[in-house]
Chain A
Amino acid sequence: MPSDRLAVRKTYKLFIGGAFPRSESGRSYPVRSASGDFMANAALASRKDARDAVRAARSAFGKWSGATAYNRGQILYRVAEMLEGRRAQFVAEVTASGGDADEVDAAIDRWVWYAGWADKIAQVHGGANPVAGPFFNLSTPEPTGVVAVVAPPDSALLGLVSVIAPAIVTGNTVVVVAAEDRPLPAVTLAEVLATSDLPGGVVNVLTGRVAEIAPWLASHMDVDALDLAGVPDRQAATALEVAAADNLKRVLRPAETPVDWAAGPGVDRMLALMETKTVWHPKGV
């Protein structure tokens, strides 16, 4: 039945510190579907939005990394529940940007998979070291800090989940630049995160031009690691890695060959964003 009701269109905004601001610059850019139709305007983030996002991520780090692993796991499971509840909306957005419904299911399963790792990663990859002396010697992986992520351009939801979840499950906080041409699922994911008990600032989502924002994140002295999953261009990735060298950021280089995001991820992305702490403790008599 045709309806003469006016549609209430959604405004796609940024996600910084648990809030949804427009870009400080006031700019936006049109997002088109895979078939070239206009879908929506997304906020075009500026370097100041990136700065605000890093500030939010830094202030969220203490509480998030200090939360118990069990608690972080529970919150990630909760995110997966909320993703499931919004499944239809994600399917619509992902399909419009060239993906399919299977990608949404895979993204939810991926999130659950990482949630399970929250209280296991330290057991599996930490441990007691044998040393020649009267000491207990224990190693444990700890979160690196604020991680700047450039999300994969080709997989709007599964790729995004596959880079965010491994970073935050271990206690890092994240500033992610969403896929430039497919940013809408990222903003909807932000709405899920905002209603899942995830503290504000743990994940911050920027939409806009990677070439404009990424250099500011790469050179930012308060960012501890840089994930270049979404910078396939070798020259651009090298330039960002050079900019990141000043404060010795950990840098995850983009893969040499195109990544199949649907394949099992393994624990590499989690471990790459952790630092191993080793403590020596004297044995009693």
Chain B
Amino acid sequence: MRTLAGMTATVASGLDEVARSNAALRAFLHGLPGVDQVGADQRAAMLGTRSIKTTAKAWALDLAIRMVDLTTLEGADTPGKVRALCAKARRPDPEDPSCPPAAAVCVYPAMVGVAAEALDGSGVHLASVATAFPSGQAPLDVRLAETEAAVRDGADEIDMVISRGAFLAGRYLDVYSEIVAVKQACGDAHLKVILETGELATYDNVRRASWLAMIAGADFIKTSTGKVSPAATLPVTLVMLEAVRDFRAATGRQVGVKPAGGIRTAKDSIKYLVLVNETVGEDWLHPDWFRFGASSLLNDLLMQRTKMSTGRYSGPNYVTLD
């Protein structure tokens, strides 16, 4: 088996070389070292037991709020609901001016125009899922047109899904070309590539998909759509964090990570922050490099924050329903 050092030398000698053919891409991805599944599970579980209290907890809660991509991806989304979500992203706790804003709002392409208006001048980013989210099962030109429309309407971040079918069938070059094409359609907008790890079956596949997305030009790699169970888990995020760490070591380019789906409590989010700090270090402890795709998480973060500032437990009656 080839070593990681060998692989990174390959990448450093030219990303284009790796992607010149499906055979070359396959040789590269399958040459990546395998993931020790038991080891990854165990390490993630061990890091999840860290106790974060008092000032460190207050800092972590604020950072987590700044990292939230406040998401609504429902068939029942209305302009009114999206505007309410944008107001919440701008000022999550209306009673406390010291509460930081969320990182971004994440909506369907049809809602981008409404959200862009509501977020204008706030500094909160606007992400749109695109490319036939959540399945990705649409013709490429349709997916590209959807991406262009979202960017044109004001999205500055695009969350695309990969074709899991093509990936699992071993047609890596197809997946690669699609990501490259979407990246081109994005223009200046940041591209987040959703791997949908719940459908990739193994950690080895997660590592391969992470590398594939990064080689193709992803600015962020994201775990899940939130429509498939299991969504984000700590060990899967660990594998992806190791991939971005190794990728930066090999190429010098830093890529962000976004776990999404299933993260509902402040305690969970702090476990992820510990994982980031212990795996890739402080460089990634910033909303530019690490995000949470979530909606109900923000409420729990706010309740915990209120508990820390007032000294009494808060309740769900004191945060918005969304």
- Bound-state Cα–Cα, A26 to B314, Å: 24
Q: A221 at interface (Cβ–Cβ under 8 A)?
A: yes
Q: How far is the CA of A231 from the CA of B55 in the complex (A)?
A: 34
Q: Is the CB of B316 within 8 A of A219?
A: no
Q: Is the CB of A220 within 8 A of B312?
A: yes
Query: Which chain A residues border B317 with CB–CB below 8 Å?
Result: 221-222
- Chain B contacts with A in 281-322, Cβ cutoff 8 A: 311-318
The CA-CA distance from A51 to B307 in the complex, in Å, is: 11
Query: Could you say which residues of chain A place their CB within 8 Å of the CB of B311?
Result: 219
A169-208, CB < 8 A from B = none
Inside 8 A of A222's CB, which chain B residues have their CB? Answer: 313-317
Distance to closest chain B CB from A108 (angstroms): 35
Query: Closest residue of chain B to A218, judged by CB?
Result: B312
Report how far A51 CA is from B316 CA in the complex, Å: 13
Give the complex CA separation of A247 and B124 in angstroms: 33
Q: What secondary structure prevails in chain A residues at the interface with B?
A: helix
Interface size class of B (residues with CB under 8 A): under 10
Set of chain A residues within 8 Å of B313, measured between Cβ atoms: 51, 54, 216, 219-222
Report Cα–Cα, A222/B299, bound state, in Å.
14
A10 to B166 CA separation, bound complex (whole angstroms)? 58
Q: A78 an interface residue at 8 Å Cβ cutoff?
A: no
Chain A interface size, as a band, is 10 to 19
Within 8 A of B (CB), among A205-237: 216, 219-222
Q: How far is A216 from B313 in the complex, measured between Cα atoms in Å?
A: 7
A246 at the B interface (CB under 8 A): yes
CB atoms of A58 and B316 under 8 A apart: yes
A243 nearest in chain B by CB position: B312
Find out whether the CB atom of B312 lies under 8 angstroms from the CB atom of A219: yes
Interface hits, A242-285 → B, CB 8 Å: 243, 246
Residue from A51, A216, A221 having most chain B Cβ neighbours under 10 A? A221
Which residues of A lie under 8 Å from residue B312 when comparing CB positions? Answer: 216, 219-221, 243, 246
Give the nearest-CB partner of A215 in chain B.
Answer: B312
How far, in angstroms, from A114 to B314 measured CA to CA in the complex? 32
Q: Which residue of A lies closest to B313 (CB)?
A: A220
Chain B, residue nearest A54 (CB): B313
Looking at the assembled complex, report how far the CB atom of B22 sits from the nearest CB atom of chain A, in whole angstroms: 51
A222's nearest neighbour on chain B, judged by CB, is B315
Give Cα A216 to B315, complex, Å: 13
Q: Which single residue of chain B is at the shortest CB-CB distance from A51?
A: B313
- 11 A–B pairs (Cβ distance < 8 Å), ordered by A: A58-B315, A216-B312, A216-B313, A219-B311, A219-B313, A220-B313, A221-B313, A221-B314, A221-B317, A222-B315, A246-B312
Please name 11 further chain A to chain B contacts, defined as beta carbons within 8 Å, in addition to the given A51-B313, A222-B313, A243-B312, sorted by A numbering: A58-B315, A216-B313, A219-B313, A220-B312, A220-B315, A221-B313, A221-B317, A221-B318, A222-B315, A222-B316, A222-B317
